[in-house]
Amino acid sequence: MFVRYSSRHLLRPALAAALVAALASPATAGTADPALTGFIRVDQIGFTPAESKQAYLLTPGAAARFSVVDSRGRTVLTGVPGADRGTWNTKYPHVYPIDISALERPGSYRIKAGGLTSPEFRIAPAAQFAGPAAKTLTFFGTQRDGADVRPGELDRRPSHLNDRAATVYEWPTFTGPDTDVIQGDLTRIGGRVDVEGGWFDAGDYLKFTHILAYVDTLMWAARRDAGSLPSGVTSDLTAEARHGLRWLDKMWDEKSRTLYIQVGIGAGNEEGTFAGDHDVWRLPEADDHDTGEGRQYIRNRPVFRAAAPGQKISPNLAGRTAAAFALAAQVEPDRKTARRLLDQAATLYAQAKTTDVGQLVTSLPYAFYPEWAWRDDMELGGAQLALAAKRLGDPRAGAWLAQAAHWAGEYLSHEAGGDTLNLYDVSALAHRDLVLALRASGPHETRGLAVGEQDLIADLKAQLEIGVARATPDPFQAGADYAQFDAVPHTFGLVATARLYRSVSGDPSYDAFGTRQRGWAFGANPWGVSFMVGAGENAERCPHHQVANLKGRADGRHPMLTGAVVNGPNSADLFADGLGGHFDEMNHCPPDGVDRYEEFTGRGARYVDDVRSWQASEPADDFAAIALYALTLTSTP
């Protein structure tokens, strides 16, 4: 089963497969010594003084002594790389770890070895990670839909104002289980609803409650757990979290007990009488006035609901959406507003269908986001309700604590052991917050519960061990499966989980593992790429994103889609048929069409930085959200 088979994967079948970076990696600079060829890969953001610090020498030959030089070219550290960690691919059969943990003085540095030079990195206090965290908030500003947009460097304009009076339709019938092509026309079943606002899901313009609830939950959790973020970052984080919550408030009609789940359709129908979002490459502000033939559902986007009014709602949706409202209630300074948010969360949570669940509801088609776990969402919702109730002195806290513990026990019995923190499994955050709720409760509230602190902490550790088991034999010590979808968000999920585990266990033994995973995402990987746009010396340049492609640059300079986080490497098999053609309106990126990362394809994985490469280069809200949360936790010592 795919970890993700989303809209970004059903997207534009004419554009299948892989190309890459607009500019050559700066790690190619300086190969004067013919005895050593290859590349030095390092976290291009940097490290804190006390952290374990590791880079990698990727080479076809033997290792050479290394030195670390500061910004003035002075040597501050020398050493010998560690033992060969194994073959990456046939061209680069050796990967040597370079331990620079002894480097503790704040400053900017590069690693040199045999004529090779690494990208620059910094040694600085943990607060430095507020910088890339702030970049992700810039990305969410770009993703805003509706009237309340932030122009930003890509000159965003108000878009999809017609969503203020959108029509509700019956679920469409698709031509197959793995396609978003619709049979026949859509059937209207409801009147006008206001679903204006929110964020686009990815490089397209669809909006999903399933995704946005997860994103907003992480934003409110980041706001609550932020520690000492700069005031500007904190205010931007609060503003984005509130923007998301306003849209969730529209998608949840409390009076009729109706949850709307999606705005827009991915593709048109097989009869060719209408188009969908993925059939057109354009700026979003064009849609409201698009009167072209077959563009009726581009101009007036359909809305779909999770279930009939008053009927029970898929528990994954109910749990995570309730969690977003309840987390906001934990942070909201106005207690009257906080109580209203708590009541909204409570009503939603009570609407969950937890018997005869069947196939979960996520999106239309389900193949966009085929989630199967849901007890973690119910645990998360219950834990957040309990914490919010504790804060507000609400007597329902004990009941929600018991429900959260029940669902945690059910998760441990039925769903644990297969995944780590990401869009499809939120148990790591649920476990940590349930531990906090347990510690905030008295003995009479915790007696006889289905799980205790140690059960939850043990599963946090077990999730980290999933990553450790993958990292141990891997040359670059990657804890995520980079030959599957969502390698980068899974990586940031492991970074966050290492912090969550330490916060409740007091055990720092996974700190170095978490640091190496962060490093992998920011450049200490075979491709030498930071998978966050605008973060690091050699970052993603050609995201599969319409606004960025039509208004940004392809050379790593502004304007760009700052803060976007992409999937990163993916299965090489997904690129077997090539990348396909460009939309007529699409700017070619890279301009020369050359795949400069092809030589680093290895171990069944390939990374392609090309606007057509939805498999590797499409950003998504959930990717950026887990990066934001991980970096927020990391920025607090």
Q: Report the percentage of the chain scoring pLDDT > 90.
A: 92
pLDDT of residue 21: 29
Q: Is the dihedral of CA 505, 510, 512, 516 positive or negative?
A: negative
Q: What percent of the chain has pLDDT over 70?
A: 95
At residue 29, the pLDDT reads 34
Among 15-19, 78-82, 566-570, which is the least confidently predicted range? 15-19
How far CA 160 is from CA of 23, 121, 137, 283, in Å, comes to 35, 41, 21, 11
CA–CA dist 332, 329 (Å, integer): 5
For 261-307, the pLDDT digits (tens) are 999 999 999 999 999 999 999 999 999 999 999 999 999 999 999 99
Task: Name the residue with tokens 């108000």.
Answer: 158
In the chain, the amino acid numbered 408 is A
Residues in CB range of 206: below 8 A, 6 or more apart: 7, 200, 262, 263, 264, 265, 266, 277
Question: Are 196 and 160 contacting, i.e. CB atoms less than 8 angstroms apart?
Answer: yes
The phi, psi pair for 480, rounded to 5°, reads -105, 160
* DSSP class of 447: T
Mean per-residue pLDDT for 345-360?
98
Tokens 């999606």: give the residue: 262
Q: What is the pLDDT of residue 19?
A: 26
Q: What is the mean pLDDT of residues 591-599?
A: 95
Specify the 3-state DSSP secondary structure of 182.
strand
Say how far apart CA 125 and CA 109 lie, in whole Å: 15
Closest Cα to residue 52, out of 84, 99, 94, 13? 99
Query: Is pLDDT at 368 greater than 90 in this prediction?
Result: yes
Region 455-475: what's the mean pLDDT?
Answer: 98
User: Any idea how long the chain is?
Assistant: 637
Q: How confident is the model at residue 228 (pLDDT cuts 50, 70, 90)?
A: confident
Region 59-75: mean pLDDT is 96
For residue 596, the 8-state DSSP code is T
| Phi/psi at 207 (5° precision) | -135, 130
- pLDDT at site 226: 86
pLDDT of 140: 98
Residue 158: other Cβ atoms inside 10 A: 16
Q: What are phi and psi of 438, to 5 degrees?
A: -60, -45
pLDDT value, residue 586: 97
Q: Are 306 and 198 in contact (CB under 8 A)?
A: no
Whole-number mean pLDDT of the chain?
A: 94
Per-residue pLDDT at 602: 98
What is the rounded distance in angstroms from the CA atom of residue 37 to the CA atom of residue 28? 9
pLDDT in tens, 543-563: 999 999 999 998 889 999 999
Distance separating alpha carbons of residues 628 and 137, to the nearest angstrom: 8
Q: What is the pLDDT of residue 579?
A: 92
Helix 621-634 and helix 487-505, axial crossing angle in degrees, nearest 10: 30
| 530: phi then psi, degrees, rounded to nearest 5 | -85, 125
Euclidean distance between CA atoms 368 and 363, whole angstroms: 6
> Using omega within 30 degrees of 0 as the cis cutoff, is the peptide bond preceding 559 cis?
yes
pLDDT band at residue 35, thresholds of 50, 70 and 90?
low
Three-state SS string over 478-529 comes to CCCCCCCCCHHHHHHHHHHHHHHHHHHHCCCCCHHHHHHHHHHHECCCCCCC
Q: What is the mean pLDDT of residues 256-264?
A: 98
Question: Which residue do the tokens 């980290």 mark?
Answer: 464
- CB distance 630 to 499 below 8 Å: yes
- What's residue 294's pLDDT? 97
Of residues 419, 469, 476, 468, the one with CA closest to residue 602: 476
Mean pLDDT of 185-200: 96
Angle of helix 511-521 versus helix 453-471 axis, rounded to 10: 50
Q: How far apart are CA 427 and CA 288, in angstroms?
A: 40
Across the range 592-601, mean pLDDT stands at: 96
Sequence-ordered list of residues with C-beta below 8 angstroms from that of 442, at least 6 positions apart, any chain: none
Kind and range of the H or E run holding 99: strand 94-99
